[in-house]
Amino acid sequence: MRPIKSEVQEVLAELKTLRQEIAPSKESKVKTDLYLRTMRFLLDDKHADFRKFCEVIAGDLDAAVPRLVQEADLDKFLGSMGHKIVVEDSKENFEKMMRTAGHPAARDPTDRSSFALLSASVSVAGWWAAFDNNQVVLSSRQLERFSATYAALQGNLALLGG
């Protein structure tokens, strides 16, 4: 009988070890919780404009979330993605930029003066556009809105200790 008991104890010890190895660590759980809370924040319909903006800047939402968690403010988020903010409050100038920007597929990659529009949005709240030369053009009002939304996200994450 003794050998069976010791074998069972060995199997139990191995199972406990495996459970510890596959159970998420506290750090992993915190990262998962931060990711989930950020994604839920972005998927809320009242943040749809900000969600679209983040998607365009990062290439997709899954790529944006870790940076949104990591960076303290909108300027740092954009900088970490290699983008530069340009504030343009003249709607005329903004529309001219939109007209002169080419389509990404039609752009001549050897012409350094040309740039293509990746995405843009115009509303009563302001406007923004992202270009393939890494410039992000925003009205000051839109920049304030996105900065406030980013701060709200960070406040939400701080509740988790992120």
The pLDDT of residue 99 is 86
Q: Which residue has the tokens 């993605």?
A: 81
pLDDT in tens, the chain (162 residues): 456 767 777 786 677 667 666 766 777 778 888 999 999 999 999 999 999 999 999 999 999 999 999 999 999 999 999 999 999 999 999 999 888 887 665 555 565 556 889 999 999 989 999 999 999 999 999 999 999 999 999 999 988 764
Round to whole Å and give the CA distance between 75 and 144: 11
The pLDDT assigned to 113 comes to 59
Specify the pLDDT at position 10.
73
Closest to 66 measured CA to CA, from 147, 45, 58: 58
CA-wise closest residue to 150 among 74, 53, 82: 74
Chain centroid offset of residue 98 CA: 24
pTM exceeding 0.85: no
DSSP 8-state class, residue 74: H
Domain residue limits, the chain: 45-158
For residue 88, what pLDDT is reported?
A: 96
